Amino acid sequence: MTEKATAPVEGANDLSMAVLNAIQNPVILVDENGFVAFANWEAESFFGASANHLARHDISAFIPFGSPLLTLIEQVRERRAAVNEYRVDLSSPRLGADKLVDLYVAPVLSQPGSVVIVFQERSMADKIDRQLTHRAAARSVTGLASMLAHEIKNPLSGIRGAAQLLETSVNDEDRALTRLICDETDRIVSLVDRMEVFSDERPVDRLPLNIHAVLDHVKAIAKAGFARRIRISEHYDPSLPPVFANRDQLVQVFLNLIKNAAEAIGDRADGEILLTTAYRPGIRLSVAGTREKISLPLEFCVHDNGPGVPSDLLPHLFDPFITTKTNGSGLGLALVAKIIGGHGGIVECDSQHSRTTFRVLMPASKGLAADDETPMTKGTNG
């Protein structure tokens, strides 16, 4: 068999390099001897080594001993077909902890024995996934909420009215029962009311807000009530630019988060809630299916040292009706996710034993510098 020599296309090499370097996923080529013959820029930063350094070593020098990636490479060489493997753990002192990746390994047919590996870092994928799930969850509650409002509240007010009428004509013993009917219908009405906020799709007024004023306001509410005995401290970045948001909704978000933190802490004497803010311009998320990269530099966190979120709850935490509390509605975090999503941000939770963090990431308001005083003071009256 004769190989046809292909004439090099002018600039093709530069162009392919530029394309590979533009990809935000680490891409490497492992040759038939196991050497890393090519690495794009993202791969250099992923492995913490230059392409030249990578090229002098066997791939096994860079990944944990016995990693399934080595077996995958073998498989692909043998079968000459691409494979995907999800959630492969590449954590090592070299690559860092929590390096969960999805792998795409494909043979390079023109160079027998060589394979291309594309890494997709899982934490990013999870963030995007989770965010899309939250939005879907919030949407599904939206329909349910408006249905409930119509179909349940009207009959309930009839039931309540009838019980109140009865109350006037029954003996004391039975009056306890009519009271029970009234109390329980009230409870359902208030649940439906709480759900109604989900069906409210009206655009909300937004202003540039000083988040610290919002947090201090929520802290004052908490200290006056449910968190009376819990220490709440804060660690604010004073130079944080304003966030473009609806004040009432943000108050609701942090009230829900701080209330959950206080409930998790319970009566513990050493319970503590910490509020932190930070500016992290480096956080950029790719939006699946688009070329868009969103930057969410404003970070607001609520930390607590309660017992943590049960690990089986974590994947569903922001879904509606997820609760571990006897009197919980499970709507608090679903509402948080809906509001933050509506503001173009995301919310996520990290929870380890006695260290739980709810992290809200928000876009910076356009055209407002950190020292833009006027709109800051306008939006904050708390």
Ligand X SMILES: Nc1ncnc2c1ncn2[C@@H]1O[C@H](COP(=O)(O)OP(=O)(O)O)[C@@H](O)[C@H]1O
Residues at the site binding ligand X, with contacts judged by CB under 6 A: 256, 260-261, 264, 304, 306, 308-309, 313, 317, 322-325, 328-334, 356
Task: Rank residues 211 and 264 by Cβ distance to ligand X and give the closer one.
Answer: 264
Q: How far is the CB of 314 from ligand X (least distance, A)?
A: 9
Tokens of 129: 């996934």
Site for Mg ion in 92-111 (CB under 5 A): none
Q: How far is the CB of 309 from ligand X (least distance, A)?
A: 4
Tokens of 270: 């050493």
**Residue indicated by tokens 């490479």:** 73
Q: How far is the CB of 265 from ligand X (least distance, A)?
A: 8
Total residues found in the chain within this entry: 382
Helices of type H across the chain: 12-22, 41-47, 51-55, 68-79, 122-167, 172-199, 211-224, 247-265, 332-342, 373-379
Contact partner, 330, from ligand X, Mg ion, none, Cβ < 5-8 Å per class: ligand X
Q: How far is the CB of 267 from ligand X (least distance, A)?
A: 15
Contact partner, 340, from Mg ion, ligand X, none, Cβ < 5-8 Å per class: none
Largest Cα–Cα separation, the chain = 104
Task: Rank residues 63 and 262 by Cβ distance to Mg ion and give the closer one.
Answer: 262
Nearest in space to 283 (alpha carbons), one of 271, 299, 272, 267: 299
Residue nearest to ligand X (CB): 332
- Per CB under 5 A, 306 contacts Mg ion: no
Nearest in space to 220 (alpha carbons), one of 258, 248, 250: 258
- Per CB under 5 A, 379 contacts Mg ion: no
> How far apart are alpha carbons 326 and 322 in whole angstroms?
11
Contact partner, 345, from Mg ion, ligand X, none, Cβ < 5-8 Å per class: none
> How far apart are alpha carbons 22 and 26 in whole angstroms?
10
Contact partner, 304, from ligand X, Mg ion, none, Cβ < 5-8 Å per class: ligand X
Q: How far is the CB of 326 from Mg ion (least distance, A)?
A: 13
Q: How far is the CB of 379 from ligand X (least distance, A)?
A: 26
- Per CB under 5 A, 260 contacts Mg ion: yes
Site for Mg ion in 195-254 (CB under 5 A): none
> How far apart are alpha carbons 277 and 275 in whole angstroms?
7
Measure the CA angle with vertex 78, ends 73 and 84; round to 5°: 45
Binding-site member from 26, 306, 308, 332 for Mg ion (CB under 5 A): 332
> How far apart are alpha carbons 303 and 115 in whole angstroms?
44
Q: Which residues bind Mg ion (CB under 5 A)?
A: 260, 332
